[in-house]
């Protein structure tokens, strides 16, 4: 959706339906900053002794 913008939300666009399906299947997704922090902690844990 970030790549196609508002055109992806038009009802006659097939991408719009797939996007809604994905959103409905993911209940309570973490925010981007939480994902980045968790990825950073995991990467540092693998490097640090």
What's the Cα-to-Cα distance from 35 to each of 18, 31, 42, rounded to whole Å?
23, 6, 11
In this prediction, residue 1 carries a pLDDT of 66
Residue 33 in tokens = 């900053």
The predicted-structure confidence for 1-49, as pLDDT tens digits, reads as follows 677 777 767 777 777 877 777 777 666 667 888 889 999 999 999 886 6
Query: What are the extents of the domains in the chain?
Result: 5-47
In this prediction, residue 14 carries a pLDDT of 78
Q: Phi/psi zone of residue 15: left (φ > 0), alpha (ψ -120 to 50 degrees), beta?
A: alpha
Residue 39 in tokens = 């990825």
The predicted-structure confidence for 8-18, as pLDDT tens digits, reads as follows 677 777 778 77
In this prediction, residue 48 carries a pLDDT of 66
1 neighbors 8 (Cβ within 8 angstroms): yes
What's the Cα-to-Cα distance from 21 to each of 6, 11, 16, rounded to whole Å?
17, 13, 9
């Amino acid at each position: 959706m970030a790549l196609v913008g508002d055109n992806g939300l038009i009802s006659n666009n097939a991408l719009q339906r797939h996007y809604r399906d994905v959103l409905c299947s993911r209940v309570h997704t973490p925010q981007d900053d939480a994902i980045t922090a968790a990825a950073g902690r995991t990467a540092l844990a693998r490097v640090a002794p």
